[in-house]
Amino acid sequence: MSELAQCAKTIYKKSNHALVGAGVDELANYYILSMKEQGIDFDKNIDMTCPESKKALNWYIKGLKEGYLQIASANGYLSTDFGHQKVAMFISTCASEAYVKMGMGKNKFNYGVAPRPSKYNVQQGTDIYMFNKGTAEQKSAAFMFIKFMLSKRNQLKLAHATGYMPVLNSILKSDDYKCSKDSKVAGILDKTTANIYNLKISKNENAAYFQLKSSMQAILLAAKKGDSVVPVIKANQLKLAHCWKQ
């Protein structure tokens, strides 16, 4: 990530500040992975005021203050800015490739893809559940639907249509998927899955994750405005801690 920051800084400087170097779409995932790289899991003990957290936050805060990093608006994604050539690079989900193409409009250009520059990566996408509550008919239907979705044909169809990562390794590593004519991401995606960090399913984890998204947005917006982030970090640590305890 330090190399990414340096490249972003160089791009911003050489473009005479006309082109922002880089940004990250999913701010919660950025924070979680930055903490994981330092040996800290996302759980009820997470502390946004600890030294490791300050290091993770400062990477982004420094870039925002100096202008070479960018964040998306609260309801937007950097794929639009990338498509309009307002940001040179951005980290996002594999499904963002489709939105990059949409964002280009008539202004087509050749883009490249690369694995996230870190040891760990996080899986985020559509989940299919079969609940233990329900009628026998509902349970059977859920099982049959999962079986239907896991066929090779349907895994490939879903991946090509949505950009989502196939859930089966056999599909992820298959030539049918990797040699897709419609996706550059498909060709390199298996290189990003060696160290997938799966968030633990625990009480209030989902609520805490969504609070973290809001907290990161608030902290980085304060930094972008030039405001002090210390009180914002402290206030959002309290909100995050409350989510874990509700």
pLDDT at 77: 85
Note whether residue 130 is domain-resident.
no
Q: Are residues 111 and 217 in the same domain?
A: yes
DSSP code, position 168: S
**What's the confidence (pLDDT) of residue 12?**
97
Identify whether residues 33 and 142 lie together within a single domain: no
Q: Are residues 160 and 62 both part of a single domain?
A: no
Q: Is 89 found in the same domain as 35?
A: yes
CA angle 68, 51, 197 (to 5 degrees): 75
Q: Which of 1, 22, 31, 6 is nearest to 81 (CA)?
A: 22
Number of domain units in the chain: 2
CATH number for the domain including 66?
A: 3.40.190.10
Q: Which residues pair with 24 in a beta bridge?
A: 91
Is the same domain home to 37 and 87? yes
Q: What are the distances in angstroms from CA 50 to CA 35, 46, 197, 222, 234? A: 10, 9, 21, 19, 11
Distance from C-alpha of 235 to C-alpha of 230, rounded to nearest angstrom: 9
For position 180, what pLDDT does the model report? 87
| pLDDT reported for residue 239 | 96
- Fill in the DSSP letter of residue 50: S
Taking Cα atoms as reference points, which of 153, 149, 159 lies closest to residue 97?
Answer: 159
pLDDT in tens, 98-150: 888 877 777 788 899 999 999 999 876 666 666 778 888 988 998 899 899 99
Q: Are residues 140 and 214 in the same domain?
A: no
Q: Which residues of the chain have pLDDT under 70?
A: 74-75, 124-130
Contact 71, 223 (CB under 8 A): no
119 plus 225 within the same structural domain: yes
Q: What is the token pair recorded at 93?
A: 């989900």
Residues 115 and 144 reside in one and the same domain: no
Domain that holds residue 171: 136-181
Is 52 among the domain residues? yes
Q: Do 213 and 240 share a domain, yes or no? A: yes
62 found inside a domain: yes
